[in-house]
Structure 1
């Protein structure tokens, strides 16, 4: 399979700086069955760009390290990679005074969402697309002109996410998910239910949090375990989009306007050059009222 790739990242109109980051890696040589030949990720930072930048530099190493099954159980492998990467992000700094400062790369209030796509040859010849996400960045597949969302938006608005978080709440009289500032937020603070980093919402003995043995999964229930999907690509698949939430219409959660999934794949499909398509998508989202940072990676399948 031949890939043509384009990308664009624009600072949001309401942002002081662009905290989105992205990465693309493609092998120039044929790969064996189960061995990824393309990796692309979009990371939407908040509270600074340090966590997003760390994910650009380090997450692929964790994916490679935990890609143990030769593509036989890729969803389990990438879940392990994401969780282990977040634990490393949250690990106390070394040295005598290491445990005295804030945990987390970029500080305890720095975090990032992630949407990742990997392509690898399947055992029966078909190329497999593995999508994984933490937070509300998305991976879309265009099949027969229709947009298929391969990821799950992890937001406190989701009833499934709210129930997951409240199951571990030691104080049911004070819900962990609260409606603040026009949107649902974990701890009344974060408008995401899953993210990398954000140590202050994962730390032990803070607010309603309870101590966890690994100092990782306590706090308000924010986690970095991804939702995943595995899709066998067909000749009817024309492109893959990986994008931060700034691309998409999100008025109810403070992001302003943007595009629907279908509008995004239709616009990308009309533009031959993927680099130009990524630029036009980002501009179109801003023209539609998006005020957030917008980052788009376009993988055209040929």
Structure 2
């Protein structure tokens, strides 16, 4: 998350105890700061979410790298994403000229690698929302799944990501030979299993899933107050 200290403090009060949290700030513009807060919910399995929040110097440029990786049936895959996705993005030769295309290719390459390493990484998968802040002026946001990025400018909130819900992508899923279940009391699911239409991994469902990210560019100016990245645990539960 990038934003004001009071937003971070309010979220800490809401989210509860035993968090993995931290904060930092840009060296280029001292008023640009970030904080993150990670806490396990009440599910009876080990933590499957991972966070990236850091500023990184690349030659004469500064990059803010921020992400939420929300795993399902896996902690190995979101952990792999935490380690490799930004590395793959920044290794794209045209990142500085065309960051949107670079992000799209890196998402695809990373998912292909995960599928190739399925024996080691196991089953399951992960959603992702990533934000790259370039020199505190340009923001590149991408996502697969239902983790969201929301920006606030002049007191008005706008969602930058897209929730990849099975119901909204039914035609695409059925076109690939899958189906969307909609049982009473449950959310729509791909092949009766997965509650998102796009994700990294999920090799057993990949014929019917996509890992193509939604990508958007946003200018960061004096009107920008804060940006929040969070999983569906915040947006849909809390």
> Is TM > 0.5 for Structure 1 vs Structure 2?
yes
Q: Are the structure 2 counterparts of residues 40 and 167 from structure 1 closer, same or farther at C-alpha, using a change threshold of 3 Å?
A: same
Matches within 5 A, 1:13-24: 13-24=42-53
Is the 8 Å Cα contact of residues 111 and 196 (structure 1) preserved in structure 2? yes
Separation in structure 2 between the aligned mates of residue 140 and residue 238 of structure 1, nearest angstrom: 11
Q: CA offset at residue 5 of structure 1? A: 1.5
Name the CA distance, whole Å, in 2 between partners of 1:79 and 1:176: 26
Aligned to 2:90: 64
TM-score by length of 2: 0.81
Deviations for 1:151-185, whole angstroms, at most 9, x for unmatched residues? 00111121xx111212222xxxxx61111361110
Q: Distance in 1 between matches of 2:114 and 2:181?
A: 26
How far off its partner does 1:71 sit?
2.9
Query: Cα deviation per residue 1:233-286 (whole Å; 9 max; x = unaligned)?
Result: 12010111111110013xxxxxxx32xxxxxxxxxxxxxxxxxxxxxxxxxxxx
What's the counterpart of residue 235 of structure 2? Answer: 248
Structure whose residues are more often strand by fraction:
2
Task: Report the Cα offset of residue 30 of structure 1.
Answer: 7.7
Instruction: Indicate conservation of the 8 Å contact 1:104/1:198, yes or no.
Output: no
The root-mean-square deviation of aligned C-alpha atoms, in Å, is 1.9
Which has the higher relative contact order, 1 or 2, with Cα contacts under 8 A spaced 6 or more apart? Answer: 1
1:73 aligns to 2:87 (yes or no)? no
Residues 186 and 27 of structure 1, relative CA distance in 2, 3 Å threshold: same
Alignment-derived partner of residue 100 in structure 1: none
User: Which of residues 162, 185, 194 in structure 1 aligns to 2:198?
Assistant: 194
Q: For residues 35-184 of structure 1, what are the structure 2 equivalents within 5 Å?
A: 37-66=63-92, 68-91=93-116, 103=118, 105-108=120-123, 110-121=124-135, 127-158=137-168, 161-169=169-177, 176-180=179-183, 182-184=186-188
Does the 8 Å CA contact 1:104/1:197 hold for their aligned counterparts? no
8 Å CA contact retained: 2:129, 2:149: yes
Structure 2: runs of 5 or more not aligned: 1-28
CA drift at 1:24:
1.8
**Structure 1 runs not aligned, ≥5 long:** 93-102, 170-174, 203-218, 250-256, 259-302
| Structure 1: distance between partners of 2:227 and 2:69 | 16
Report what 1:238 is aligned to.
Answer: 225
In 2, distance between residues paired with 1:28 and 1:240?
A: 21
Cα distance 1:104–1:187, how it changes in 2: closer, same or farther (>3 A)?
farther
Instruction: Tell me how many residue pairs correspond in the alignment.
Output: 208
Runs of 4+ in 1 over 3 A off after TM superposition: 28-32
Q: 1:62 to 1:29 in 2, by over 3 A?
A: closer
